[in-house]
Structure 1
Amino acid sequence: MKRIGYYCLMLLAFASCSRSPQPMEALYPVQGYTDLSQEKVKLSSLFAEYRLIPLETNDSSLIGGRGNKVLQRDSSFYIESENTILSFDNDGHFISRFDKRGSGPEDYIDISDFDVVSSSEGKTELWLSGAGGIKVYDALSGAFIRGVLSGSYVHQFQYVNDSTLLFVDSGDEVFHVCDLTGKERFRYFKKDLANSIHKFNQFFFCRGKICYQLGNTLEAIVYDPDADACSLQPILPAEGNVLTLQVSRDYYDKYGYLEQDKKLMENYVMLSVVRTVRGGAVFEWIAPGMEYGLSFCSSDKCHTIPFSAIDNDICETDDNRFLATLTCCESDNDSVLLFQVPDKGDGENNFSLLEAVCKDMQFN
């Protein structure tokens, strides 16, 4: 796992909670998820259906940078490209480029996270976070609507409903629950440099609760909107040599910040992404030696397939690691997984998107 490139590194992480957590059952209480199936499978057989969507390339729509975050919202695609947001329609045709970088009160300095939100007034809003807090714009016209949390550096955030916003910063207690004006109700979880990884999509939903995965570990902060309360909860039961918060802290104490990641990668399996899908979840793993795998989990069963056992019969690419871009891509359809497929031509075209509809998470 690299902290520069595929993942966004910010000097932030987590250690202990401001409210003492009680032991809780895992969000997905399945066993055997580290048992690898070495039987060769076709990529197409993992999905109920799929389609490749080439993204239009022109002077305005060219996507820059690496590991671009992609959101699918209401059949449109929004892509962060070097501190701008590009939008494409359902077939990959370019729609617009949003760029209001600057130092004015209606401008933004940088983009650390973004989302596209349907407001209670029926508007589609573009939310951007970074050095100036959160800026909210009309996603269609680009007009500035309001600022939230001005003066803060907001690393990541999650719109919950008309009364609740979650965000992560680098203060002493890093997880915050506030209203949409930025008025804080409470904060949770103390920062810890031992667990400092930030990724594109660490928030996920599980049975009506909003979860925030802590780095590449098995633990998550779980926010319950009904109780307006947070808890620390395992995503999966601890198994084998899968990374936990405590292991990460132990390695930090032993090797220090700069060497910690290297040593962990040599010895531990890391949970790099969680995607909730209908009837279960999809997990992506990185094992020692940079070996990747996918787990398809129902409520009581799990099937884990290493990338090396997948025969790519869908798209023209020689490296199955394009499947690892699941960590960058998110859909508002809980049946859909998205992947970025690299251009096979001269390298001057945008990547394509692989939109894959999951099968029901039931295994015979």
Structure 2
Amino acid sequence: MTLDVIDPTTTVPAPRRRRSWMRRALSSWQLYVLLAPALAYIIVFKYWPMYGAQIAFRDYNPALGFAGSPWVGLEHFVRFIGSFQFERVIANTLTINALGLLIAFPVPIVLALIVNQLQSQRFKKFTQTVLYSPSFISVVVVVGMIFLLFSPRSGIVNNVIVLLGGDPIFFMGTEEWFRPLYIGSDIWQNAGFSMIVYLAALTAIDPALHEAAKVDGANKWQRIRHIDLPGILPVISILFILAIGNLFNLGFEKVLLMQTDLNLGASEVIQTYVYKIGLQQAQFSYSAAIGLFNSLINLVLLVTFNWIAKKAGQSTLW
């Protein structure tokens, strides 16, 4: 009796591959049922709206629809780049986000390293709760607190300044103070949430490494530098790449709520400009072009820094 030897270089016919895939899908149909709502959400709310992005290249008329509106090509993009608002909104958006990235990004890392070193579990949980709780406060409430605390007449901050012999400052009506207030309040509200991510990464570090370092005579700071930081470096790399990918995205609600006529020179960003042009002035195609331009810049930054991180040997998105 002879045995047939199957050549490993031969390929399985396409119909057989399709049947085997369908057989596996039917055997695990429960998983696909659970996956269906998430896929439907992504398709309906993420991919289907991309069809409407074509109005950025058209002179959109609601009566004619997306496909029926006249094609104008890159006219709206050229108009935005040549407008007097271009430099201001780009500079404000980039400045606020860049300062926020430089100042706010390391804060959760430092907090996580400090909280992780606390010996008392009860005090550690209390500290985590205190630092994390501002994340549950609404943006509207946070902005209201800012207006109350920094009010030129009844604000606590100005009362302290007057008691120390200074003159009250109109913080919300001064362009120079908009960025510090925005970044400072953002750190207070969101640093605790990001800290939890780094704490979770720290718990994955093998405790035997710290025990071995203690036996070798390493102090607390040396263990943080040589064990904790390298252990969470992949998470830091991923979150930094994601932050770079959102460098031209700013919290629209908070900026709009903090914006006044007196600080408009520092608070007018791409998102608020798109809101005013698109919804208040009904220039749909122009605002869509600005939004698409913003998204393309973020995509280029994300791909570029992901490539740089890969070349540096760090963890990347893909």
User: Is the pair's TM-score, using the shorter chain for normalization, greater than 0.5?
Assistant: no
For the pair shown, the structure with the greater C-alpha radius of gyration is 2
TM-score with structure 2 setting the length: 0.24
- Structure with greater proportional helix content: 2
TM-score with structure 1 setting the length: 0.22
